[in-house]
Every structure is written in C-alpha cells, then in structure tokens.
C-alpha cells in the first residue's frame, strides 16, 4: 500500500516542476523583449508597448522590432532605420538594420538587411543621444537572421535555422572572439537574457532552453525542451519570467 502511494506521488511532482504556469496579458504583440527588468514589445501593426504594472502601455513610435537590456532600449522601423529611446523619445542612429539587440553588456548589436552582424562599442552605445553622436558599427564575420547578446556571449540563428555562438563578448570587445561557432540543434529564433540564459523557438513552435551555461562554459551542454500546450513564435526571459508570443500574437507571462 505504502509503495503504491509513493509511486503515484512522484510523477505528479515531476510534472508540476516541468510545466509552465502561464497567465495571459491582454493585447497582441508580434515580438517581445524582456531585459534588465523591463518588458517591451511591438504590435503586428508596429505600435510600441511597454509593460507598466500588469498592463501594456503604448509609447510613441512605429517599429518592427524592439529590444531592451543593459544597452538601453533600441529598435528598428519598417524601413530599417535604427532608433534608441532617449529621454522618452526615439532618436535615429546611423546605419540601417533589420534587427538591433540591446542585451549585450553595454553594447548594441544588430543585423543589416543582408543578415551581416554588426556591433557598437560601449562608448558609442551608452553615449548615443541622437544625430551627432558618434556611432560606428563594427562588422563581424557572420550572416544571420536573428541575433541576441547576453553578459558574456551572443547567440544567433541563420536562414537555415542553424545555431551559432560568439564567445568572449565584453563591454570593450563587442566582437568577442570574432569566431561564430556552430551549436547542434535547429531554431528559428533565439534570445539571451540579461543573466545569460538562452531560450529559443524552432520552426514548429516548440520552446527550448540551453542547459549547463556557465561563464566558464558559455556554450552550455545541451537543449532542454520546455513543455507548453501551444506552439509559439517568440520567447524572451528575464527575472524568472518567460514571455511567450503565440502564433496568434497572444502574450503569455510564464514561470516554471
Ligand atoms: C523610419 O525612421 C526614419 C528615421 O526616423 C524615418 O525617416 C522614416 O520615415 C521611418 N519609416 C517609416 C515607415 O515610418
């Protein structure tokens, strides 16, 4: 009798630990980025929102992608013009990118329309105040479709959904080792959090987390499937919360 009870209890606990607990956030977003304690996102039509309390509040601007992190709040609009939020308003930065990421430690990184990777050093990133501020982007040797940086590495995926890591990135060396190393697996988007966690979504809409990541082993050890009842198109993690965007642009705030 006793043995039966234990066997029944164990699988229940196991499932509870590995299931996402989600609440929906009202509104629709096509992309979300959580970083450095903030959550920003863009609507299918390009309106920009930030989470304030438990509601999404609209801020000025029209963007196709927004990113928040130690490098500030950066975004790109539908004509690939780069913008940074300065004193509550968007200022334009030189260059054209289809995606800019603010997750690096005090540096911004981005992809141009051809997918070529660029990064902006610490001084230019933190000091960028609008036209007139110096902003010379450094070109890196990779072509990707999605790119995201964290405290000690950047991760990206290419158009074939192959995954790459760039190690050794620092505030003074946003190009790190300058060598993009392949990682086994297949993902269509990937995000590195402010604390260095790595989450991604594959072409089917399944969520994965990289396990075993440490400052001394930034590439980690393998992929863990994060079980969730629906297919998603976008994920972003910050401070214990995994933010999901469903295929229908629904927003979920999840914890494990
Ligand atoms: C994108 O931003 C640039 C610079 O701010 C602006 O001139 C352009 O009109 C914007 N594009 C759209 C489609 O709003």
Q: How far apart are CA 212 and CA 189, in angstroms?
A: 20
Q: What is the DSSP string of 31-90?
A: EEEEETTEEEEE-TT-EEEEEETTEEEEEEEE-SEEEEETTEEEEE-TT-EEEEEETTEE
Q: What is the pTM of this model?
A: 0.92
Query: What is the Å distance from ligand 1's center to 46 Cα?
Result: 12
Q: How many helices (H) and strands (E) does the chain have?
A: 2, 24
* 64 C-beta closer than 6 A to ligand 1: no
* C-alpha torsion 165→171→173→178, nearest 10: 10
At 13, the pLDDT band (50, 70, 90 cuts) reads: very low
Q: What is the pLDDT of residues 193-251, one digit of tens each?
A: 999 999 999 999 999 999 999 999 999 999 999 999 999 999 999 999 999 999 999 99
Query: What is the Å distance from ligand 1's center to 139 Cα?
Result: 24
Place of tokens 């490098």: 71
Q: Has residue 38 got a pLDDT over 80?
A: yes
Q: Has residue 256 got a pLDDT over 60?
A: yes
Find out whether 249 and 195 touch, Cβ atoms under 8 Å: no
Provide the pLDDT for residue 16. Answer: 45
Query: What is the Å distance from ligand 1's center to 81 Cα?
Result: 6
CATH tag, 3-255: 2.130.10.10
Atom of ligand 1 nearest to the CA of 78: 13
Q: What is the pLDDT of residues 236-248, one digit of tens each?
A: 999 999 999 999 9
């Amino acid at each position: 009798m006793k043995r039966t009870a234990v066997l029944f209890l164990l699988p229940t606990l196991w499932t509870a630990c590995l299931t996402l607990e989600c609440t929906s956030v009202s509104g629709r977003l096509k992309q979300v980025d959580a970083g450095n304690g903030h959550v920003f996102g863009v609507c299918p039509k390009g309106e920009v929102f930030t989470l304030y309390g438990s509601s999404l509040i609209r801020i000025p601007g029209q963007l196709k992608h927004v990113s928040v992190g130690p490098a500030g709040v950066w975004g790109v609009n539908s004509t690939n013009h780069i913008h940074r939020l300065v004193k509550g308003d968007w200022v334009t930065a030189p260059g054209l990118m289809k995606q800019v990421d603010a997750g690096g430690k005090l540096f911004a990184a981005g992809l141009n329309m051809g997918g070529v990777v660029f990064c902006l050093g610490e001084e230019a990133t933190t000091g960028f105040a609008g036209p007139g501020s110096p902003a010379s982007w450094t070109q890196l040797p990779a072509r990707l479709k999605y790119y995201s940086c964290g405290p000690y590495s950047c991760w990206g995926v290419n158009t074939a959904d192959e995954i790459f890591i760039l190690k050794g990135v620092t505030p003074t060396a946003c190009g790190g080792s300058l060598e993009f190393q392949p990682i086994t697996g297949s993902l269509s988007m990937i995000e590195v959090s402010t604390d260095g966690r790595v989450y991604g979504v594959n072409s089917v809409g399944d969520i994965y987390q990289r396990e075993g990541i440490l400052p001394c082993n930034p590439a980690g050890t393998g992929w863990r499937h994060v079980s969730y009842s629906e297919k998603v198109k976008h994920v972003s993690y910050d401070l214990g919360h995994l933010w999901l965007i469903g295929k229908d642009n629904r927003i979920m705030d999840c914890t494990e």
